[in-house]
């Protein structure tokens, strides 16, 4: 039988919203907006 107390103990608390926001903003990920901006800039330069 599943021991729920043991199972719950395996998991840590999730990030607070402010911590998650900081982690996302700190990463240098390229999104679709960045790609479109780069394409438009390249097109403008040519």
Contacts of 23 (CB under 8 A, 6+ apart): 15
The pLDDT tens digits for 10-31 are: 888 777 888 888 887 777 778 8
The residue extents of the domains of the chain are 4-45
The pLDDT tens digits for 30-45 are: 888 889 999 999 999 9
Distance CA 37, CA 16 (A): 31
Decide: 13 and 21 in contact? Cβ < 8 Å.
Answer: no
Alpha helices in the chain (DSSP H): 4-9, 17-26, 32-45
pLDDT at 27: 78
């Amino acid at each position: 039988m599943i021991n729920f107390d043991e199972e719950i103990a395996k998991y840590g608390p999730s990030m607070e919203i402010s911590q998650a926001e900081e982690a996302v903003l700190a990463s240098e990920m390229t999104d679709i907006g960045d790609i479109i901006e780069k394409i438009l800039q390249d097109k403008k330069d040519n």
